[in-house]
Amino acid sequence: MIIKPRIRGFICTTAHPVGCAHSVQEQIDWVKKQPTLKGYRNVLVIGASTGYGLAARIAACFGGGARTVGVFFERPALRNRTASAGWYNSVAFESVARDAGYYSKSINGDAFSDEIKEQAISVIRKDLGDVDLVVYSLASPRRTHPRSGAQYTSVLKTVGEPYTGKTVDIHTGVVSEVTIEPATDDEIGNTVAVMGGEDWDLWIQALEAADVLAEGVRTVAFTYIGPELTRPVYGNGTIGKAKIHLEATARELDARMRKRNGRAYISANKAVVTQSSAAVPVVSLYISLLYKVMKEKHIHEGCIEQMYRLLKDRLYAGPPVPTDESGRIRIDDLELREDVQSRIESLWRSVTTENLEAISDVQVFREEFLKLFGFGLPSVDYMADVDPNQPLWCP
Ligand code: NAD
């Protein structure tokens, strides 16, 4: 079939297999040009099909030869519906990794469930023996609790007070004011249940109980801190509450991992265009300005540059691993540089619908958004007939 983008709000309901493959290949090619990484052998990535998790998998494998097990929740093609982008990304990753002689296995299913944890453990036990790095990069709008069956849905709201601020509709380029209402206690609790640290802890517990964590294992999960501008919506909002829980979990896990000479970390990452961040109001406008400013200063990074730097200059740079005073790994250092933020603040004050295209990288945001789904790549012939059915080998 000929596959075209079909955009519904913050999501594109179609994905292009060839475009996704090219975009995965671009990341692989970039990593292969960098100095070789070392420090790990067997890597489990939870949330491995898009965004930061996919980039971590690519960096670990093609940067340092890791054997990787990737867990994700993606949709295969069905009749005249394309598969999801993460499915095609994973098909592409598996194919290139295997052709290059790297071990790689993927598990598609709900990572919040006990069943998927057991599947991952059985693959690790059978094929790898153990894992020495566990990257936890899930971003999900909902979670079913594996024991109680309770269903939680996360919300993007403020806590306490409503917040009114600028935002942009990236598709139309209209800059407007948006008011985000405060969440109820229930909504806060639900968001913490989905995006907090409980599931990361359950993964580590399951891996510990199965005795598949290597001596010296490291585990890392991701947060976003960001500047004052995004703080009401992100850091001080419902998602921020979930991240506080994630950080508390990291401290508990760290104490447990130290007993096996390992460590658990939180890494504060840069704001990038992913399927998750595209949905956050205010942040979309902030990212459009951030990209412009960081590109002007030649310090722009996407997921792959961030994940490579996480492995090379942070997780495996020590001992000791460089962290801030709270023990967090910081790879948002360039984003939060004073000169970057003061420039964004001044652009933020003046940005309107009329000057948006000129003073921001909203066009780059659009291109990156489309690219998440395999569209808009100059190397791809979008008029060519493609088979949406791409098998992904799962154990
Ligand atoms: P993403 O949407 O690109 O990726 C999410 C991944 O989780 C995908 O692989 C998806 O398949 C997987 N997933 C979702 N639900 C699942 C489930 N039930 N079972 C198995 N897999 C499931 O997200 P992202 O933006 O890369 O975010 C990853 C992490 O990085 C999050 O913790 C996020 O808060 C953090 N982070 C993101 C940004 C940003 O700007 N995007 C910045 C800093 C930190």
What is the domain extent for residue 48? Answer: 10-371
pLDDT at residue number 327: 96
Whether 391 is covered by a domain: the verdict is: no
Region class of 79: left (phi > 0), else alpha (psi between -120 and 50), else beta: left
Report the chain's mean pLDDT, rounded to a whole number.
Answer: 96
Q: Which stretch of 102-111, 164-173, 264-273, 359-368 has the lowest confidence by average pLDDT?
A: 164-173
Per-residue CA distances from 346 to 109, 229, 286, 339, 340 (Å): 44, 11, 12, 11, 10
Whether 394 is covered by a domain: the verdict is: no
**Ligand 1 site, residue 288, Cβ cutoff 6 A:** no
Question: Does pLDDT of 394 surpass 70?
Answer: no
Mean pLDDT computed over 136-156: 96
pLDDT at residue number 280: 82
Torsion angle in degrees (nearest 10) through CA of 309, 279, 146, 108:
-60
Active site residue 163: no
Most ligand 1 atoms within 8 A of CB, residue of 191, 276, 287 to mutate: 276
For residue 189, which amino acid is it?
Answer: G
Determine the 3-state secondary structure of 123 from DSSP.
helix
Q: Which of 152, 234, 265, 286 is catalytic?
A: 234
Percent of the chain, pLDDT > 90? 93
What is the CB-side half-sphere exposure of residue 225 using CA atoms within 13 A?
Answer: 17
Whether 237 is covered by a domain: the verdict is: yes
Whether 392 is covered by a domain: the verdict is: no
Number of domains in the chain: 1
What would the pLDDT profile of 330-387 be if each residue is shown by its tens digit?
A: 999 999 999 999 999 999 999 999 999 999 999 999 999 999 999 999 999 999 999 9
CA 335/CA 286 separation, integer angstroms: 11
Whether 395 is covered by a domain: the verdict is: no
Question: Does pLDDT of 313 surpass 90?
Answer: yes
Atom of ligand 1 nearest to the CA of 48: 9
Whether 382 is covered by a domain: the verdict is: no
* Cα 323 to middle of ligand 1, angstroms: 22
Whether 276 is covered by a domain: the verdict is: yes
Whether 390 is covered by a domain: the verdict is: no
Please report, for the domain that includes residue 261, its CATH number.
3.40.50.720
* Cα 364 to middle of ligand 1, angstroms: 21
Question: Does pLDDT of 311 surpass 80?
Answer: yes
Question: Does pLDDT of 140 surpass 70?
Answer: yes
What tokens does 88 get? 């095609």
Mean pLDDT computed over 232-237: 91
